[in-house]
C-alpha cells in the first residue's frame, strides 16, 4: 500500500510538469494575444465549447472506471480501448456535420472550415482517453509530465508560426490539433494497448455502474461551466465572448494548476483506501486547509493587481477583461475546494452521490448564469457566476461531510472562519483604495497592502507554520 511519501512524490512530478507547461503556455499566450484580435479568439472560443463536450462523450466515464477497478485485466482494457476507437471515429464525423448548425446559430460561415479541422482533435482526444487512464493507474506521473510539456511546446510553436504568417483563427485551431496528435504519438510509444476489430463490451459492463454516474456528472458539470460562454457568445459580440473567456481562463489558471495538479494524483492513490473512509477523511482535511490558505493568497493577489495582470499578459486591447477577471477571482477559494470534491467521491466509489450533488449545484449555477446574462453585460454574468460558485461550495461540502464522511459540516468550517473573515476585510480595503494616476505609485501602494496582508496572514496568523507542519505530517 502506498504511503504518504509516494503521494508527495507523485504530486511533485505532476507539479513540475504542470507548472513548466503553464509557464510556456503563459508566454505563448502573451505572444498570441498581441498578434491576434479578441474577435479571432472569440471565434475559436465558440468551437472550443463543443470540443470540450465531445471530449467528455469520448470518455463516457470509462477512464475513471479503469483507474478505480483493480480486478480489470489487460485484455479487458484492450477491449475498452477498442470501443473508444470506434467511438472516436463516430464522434469525429458527428462534429463535422455540426459545422452547419454552429455556423447557422452564430451566423458565421467560417465554422464550415473550422469544425472539420477541429474534428481531427476530437478523434485523437478519444484515442487518448484510455491510454491516459492506464498511465494514471500505473502512476506513471513522470512520463505524463514530460508528455504534457513537450506537446505544449510543439503545439504552441506551430500556432505562433502560423499566426505570424497571417493564418488568424486557423492558427489557434491547429494548436489544438497538434496538441492532441502529440499526446497520441507519445501514448503509442508508452502504453502498449492492442486494438481489436471485434471489441468485447463485457469489460464496459463491469465498470458501467461506476462510470455512468461519473460520465453524467461530468456532462452536467460541463453544461454548467460552459453555459456562461455559450450565452455570452449568442447574446453579445464575439469580442465580448473573448473578453469574458480571457478573464475566465485566467482565473482558472490557479485552479487548474493547484487543485488540477492534485486531482490526477489523488484518485489512483486514494482509491487504494476506498474501504477506509476515515483515512481518506484525515488526508483530505489536511489538504483542504492548505488549499484555503493558498486560495486566499492568490485570490487577493488577482483582485488587487487585476488590471496590471491583464495588461502585462495580453496588452491594452484586452482592457475590458479586467473587471470580469477581478470579480471572478473572488470565487477562487470555493473553487479551489469544490474542484477536488469529485476525486473524493470517486475514491470512495460514491459516484452516484456525486451525481446527486452535481444536480443540485448545477441547477443553482445555471439559474445564476441566466440571470447574469439577462442583466445585459459580461460584468453581471461574472458577478452571478462568482456568487453561484460560493453557494455551490457550501452545498457540495455540506453533502460530502454529512453523507459520505458522517461528520458535521460546522466542524469542518470552524478552523477556517478566521480565514474567510480576514479575506473579506482585505477585499473591502482594496476596493476602497483610490486609483492613482501615476502607475508606479499605484503599484507601490497595492504592493505594500498585499505584502502587509501576507505577513499578517501567514506569519502572525501562524498559517505558514501550519502548512509546513501538515506537509511534514504522515
Helix (H, G, I), strand (E, B) or coil at 238: helix
Give pLDDT, residue 11: 62
Domain spans in the chain, listed from the N-terminal domain onward = 1-200, 238-474
The gap between the terminal CA atoms of the chain, to the nearest Å, is 14
Residue 363 CB contacts under 8 Å (≥ 6 apart), including other chains: none
How far apart (Å, rounded) are the C-alpha atoms in residues 86 and 90?
Answer: 6
Opening angle at CA 327, ends 323 and 330, nearest 5: 150
Q: Which residue has the cell 513537450?
A: 150
Residue 52 CB contacts under 8 Å (≥ 6 apart), including other chains: 222, 226
Q: Which residue has the cell 514530460?
A: 146
How confident is the model over 211-250, as pLDDT tens digits?
777 777 778 777 777 788 878 878 888 888 888 888 988 8
How far apart (Å, rounded) are the C-alpha atoms in residues 207 and 177?
Answer: 30
How confident is the model over 371-395, as pLDDT tens digits?
988 888 899 999 999 999 999 888 8
How far apart (Å, rounded) are the C-alpha atoms in residues 354 and 21?
Answer: 30
In 75-118 the beta strands, taken as DSSP E runs, fall at none
Give the relative orientation of helices 439-454 and 417-432 as an angle to the nearest 10 degrees: 160
How confident is the model over 426-437, as pLDDT tens digits?
899 988 888 777
- Give percent helix, percent strand, percent coil of the chain, each to the nearest 5: 85, 0, 15
Q: What is the mean pLDDT of residues 118-123?
A: 91
Predicted TM-score (pTM) of this structure: 0.71
How far apart (Å, rounded) are the C-alpha atoms in residues 390 and 365?
Answer: 10
| Residue 437: DSSP 8-state | S
How confident is the model over 60-117, as pLDDT tens digits?
778 778 777 777 788 888 888 888 889 999 999 999 999 999 888 888 888 999 999 9
Q: List b or e across 118-143, with b for residues whose CB sees 16 or more CB atoms inside 10 angstroms.
A: bbbbbbbbbbbbbbbbbbbbebbbeb
User: What torsion do the CA atoms of 396, 286, 297, 367 make, to the nearest 10 degrees?
Assistant: 0
Amino acid at each position: 500500500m502506498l504511503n504518504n511519501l509516494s503521494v508527495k512524490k507523485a504530486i511533485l512530478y505532476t507539479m513540475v510538469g504542470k507548472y513548466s507547461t503553464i509557464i510556456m503556455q503563459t508566454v505563448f499566450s502573451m505572444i498570441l494575444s498581441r498578434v491576434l484580435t479578441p474577435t479571432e479568439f472569440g471565434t475559436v472560443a465558440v468551437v472550443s465549447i463543443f470540443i470540450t463536450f465531445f471530449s467528455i462523450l469520448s470518455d463516457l466515464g470509462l477512464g475513471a472506471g479503469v483507474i478505480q477497478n483493480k480486478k480489470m485485466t489487460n485484455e479487458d482494457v484492450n477491449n475498452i480501448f477498442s470501443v473508444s476507437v470506434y467511438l472516436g471515429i463516430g464522434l469525429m464525423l458527428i462534429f463535422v456535420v455540426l459545422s452547419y448548425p454552429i455556423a447557422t446559430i452564430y451566423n458565421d460561415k467560417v465554422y464550415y472550415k473550422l469544425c472539420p479541422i477541429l474534428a481531427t482533435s476530437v478523434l485523437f482526444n478519444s484515442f487518448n482517453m484510455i491510454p491516459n487512464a492506464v498511465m494514471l493507474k500505473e502512476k506513471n506521473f513522470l512520463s505524463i509530465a514530460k508528455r504534457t510539456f513537450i506537446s505544449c511546446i510543439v503545439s504552441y510553436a506551430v500556432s505562433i508560426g502560423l499566426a505570424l504568417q497571417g493564418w488568424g483563427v486557423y492558427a489557434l485551431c491547429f494548436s489544438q490539433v497538434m496538441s492532441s496528435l502529440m499526446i497520441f504519438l507519445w501514448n503509442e510509444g508508452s502504453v502498449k494497448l492492442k486494438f481489436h476489430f471485434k471489441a468485447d463490451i463485457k469489460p464496459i459492463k463491469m465498470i458501467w455502474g461506476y462510470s455512468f454516474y461519473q460520465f453524467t456528472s461530468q456532462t452536467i458539470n460541463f453544461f454548467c461551466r460552459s453555459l456562461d460562454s455559450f450565452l455570452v457568445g449568442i447574446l453579445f459580440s464575439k469580442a465580448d465572448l473573448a473578453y469574458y473567456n480571457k478573464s475566465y481562463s485566467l482565473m482558472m489558471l490557479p485552479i487548474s494548476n493547484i487543485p488540477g495538479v492534485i486531482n490526477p494524483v489523488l484518485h489512483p492513490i486514494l482509491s487504494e483506501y476506498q474501504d477506509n473512509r476515515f483515512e481518506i477523511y484525515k488526508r483530505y482535511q489536511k489538504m483542504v486547509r492548505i488549499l484555503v490558505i493558498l486560495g486566499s493568497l492568490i485570490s487577493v493577489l488577482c483582485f488587487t493587481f487585476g488590471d496590471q495582470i491583464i495588461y502585462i499578459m495580453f496588452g491594452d486591447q484586452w482592457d475590458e477583461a479586467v473587471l470580469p477577471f477581478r470579480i471572478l477571482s473572488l470565487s477562487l477559494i470555493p473553487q479551489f475546494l469544490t474542484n477536488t470534491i469529485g476525486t473524493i467521491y470517486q475514491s470512495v466509489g460514491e459516484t452516484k452521490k456525486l451525481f446527486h450533488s452535481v444536480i443540485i449545484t448545477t441547477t443553482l449555477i445555471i439559474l445564476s448564469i441566466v440571470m447574469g446574462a439577462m442583466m445585459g453585460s459580461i460584468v453581471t454574468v461574472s458577478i452571478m457566476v462568482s456568487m453561484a460558485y460560493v453557494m455551490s461550495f457550501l452545498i457540495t461540502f455540506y453533502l460530502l461531510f454529512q453523507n459520505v464522511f458522517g461528520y458535521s459540516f460546522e466542524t469542518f468550517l470552524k478552523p477556517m472562519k478566521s480565514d474567510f473573515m480576514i479575506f473579506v476585510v482585505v477585499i473591502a480595503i482594496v476596493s476602497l483604495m483610490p486609483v492613482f494616476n501615476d502607475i508606479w505609485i499605484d503599484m507601490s501602494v497595492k504592493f505594500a497592502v498585499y505584502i502587509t496582508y501576507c505577513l499578517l496572514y501567514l506569519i502572525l496568523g501562524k498559517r505558514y507554520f501550519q502548512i509546513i507542519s501538515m506537509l511534514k505530517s504522515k
